[in-house]
């Protein structure tokens, strides 16, 4: 039986004029297009605390996916990060795209303190690292909209009484295949958004990032 995978991604936000998570989502869908075991549905989520919650609720209700993978960019990281935990906190110095700044606010005042990814994070990390791919397990998804979406996906699914694989992956800034990194979009790292501030911004080729995410999807299908 074919499973439906929902991949969400973000558009631009302060410091990121072109968000590479959208390209990655579409490339992963293309990589997996010929595989009968999965149908990939990609959707953009607004870079908005309130708007992302509403969008997620509608998507999870209307699409009823069998698994959910959310993608975001963490400028300054040099590996694809499989996020392990989402915390119940919004707190960032930068605005969301609605102009809202949240500092030390609970996402859900009566909600759990945290949710853990239900994707096969450890198994995929070990396998992909073993073949030399640039991956890592991360224990912080930041406290901006990426973490918010990670947390809310689990909270909404829990309220719907659904137990399906769900998690978040942060990708680094990417470069178009076969083009030098200095020809790419300029990025600004924000630690609140999971980024790493430094003098230079590491990049990975788009095809490498898409391959890693597609392999995580394949590992997820094995445990469903």
Angle at 193 between CA 187 and CA 194, to 5 degrees: 95
Among 36, 69, 150, 147, CA closest to 102:
147
Among 147, 3, 8, CA closest to 68:
8
CB 43 within 8 A of CB 32: no
- State the catalytic residue, choosing from 146, 149, 156, 214: 146
CA distances in angstroms from 37 to 7, 62, 156, 162, listed in the order given: 16, 21, 25, 21
Whether 146 is a known active-site residue: answer yes
Active site residues: 146
């Amino acid at each position: 039986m074919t499973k439906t995978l929902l991949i969400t991604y973000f558009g631009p936000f302060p410091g990121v004029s072109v968000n590479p998570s959208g390209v990655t989502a579409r490339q992963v869908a293309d990589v997996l297009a010929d595989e009968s075991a999965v149908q990939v549905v990609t959707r953009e989520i607004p870079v908005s605390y309130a708007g992302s919650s509403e969008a997620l609720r509608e998507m999870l209700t209307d699409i009823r996916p069998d698994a959910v993978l959310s993608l975001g960019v963490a400028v300054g990281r040099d590996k694809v990060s499989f996020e392990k935990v989402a915390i119940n906190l919004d707190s960032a110095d930068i605005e969301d795209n609605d102009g809202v700044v949240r500092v030390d606010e609970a996402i859900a005042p009566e909600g759990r303190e945290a949710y853990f990814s239900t994707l096969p994070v450890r198994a995929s990390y070990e396998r992909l690292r073993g073949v030399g791919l640039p991956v890592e397990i991360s224990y912080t998804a930041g406290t901006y909209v990426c973490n918010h979406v990670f947390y809310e996906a689990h909270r909404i699914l829990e309220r719907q009484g659904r137990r399906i694989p769900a998690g978040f992956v942060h990708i680094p800034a990417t470069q178009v295949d076969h083009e030098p990194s200095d020809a790419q979009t300029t990025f600004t790292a924000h630690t609140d958004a999971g980024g790493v501030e430094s003098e230079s911004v590491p990049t990975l080729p788009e095809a490498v990032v898409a391959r890693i995410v597609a392999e995580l999807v394949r590992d997820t299908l094995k445990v469903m």
